[in-house]
Structure 1
Amino acid sequence: MLAAFLVVRTRQHAAARVLLIEFIVAASILASAMIAYNLSPRHAVSRVVIVVGASLLAFFSLLI
């Protein structure tokens, strides 16, 4: 998914610096979500919280 995003951004002629920053931010959000998934209890509520948290991180990363 991250690779597909970067391919789209490359085809949109995003600068190398922008691609690097977007890659770092996206990889950090995915890593954080994976860690949270592994450390959280196996309940639907915790899954929703992880998804909402990752979505909010992605949204706020647009402010960078």
Structure 2
Amino acid sequence: MPPKSFDVLSHRSEAWTASAALDLLPENSGPRVEVLRGCVVVTPVSSLDRRTAQRELRYLLK
């Protein structure tokens, strides 16, 4: 079995499933990788600035 790589994201033509993502994509401690309606969604790691903005927004909305 070849090593897992994110290169498969640009070559896959079928809809993604959670099972396919677990089988084909490498584990990482960086960006969050999710499968949503057959697509892979990659979001950046939450940084201190982002968490601060989220907390402030939550406070303002309350």
Q: What TM-score do you get using the length of structure 2 for normalisation?
A: 0.26
- Larger fraction in strand: 2
Provide TM-score, normalisation by structure 1: 0.26
Q: Higher RCO, 1 or 2 (CA under 8 Å, sep at least 6)?
A: 1
Going by fraction, where is helix more abundant, 1 or 2?
Answer: 1
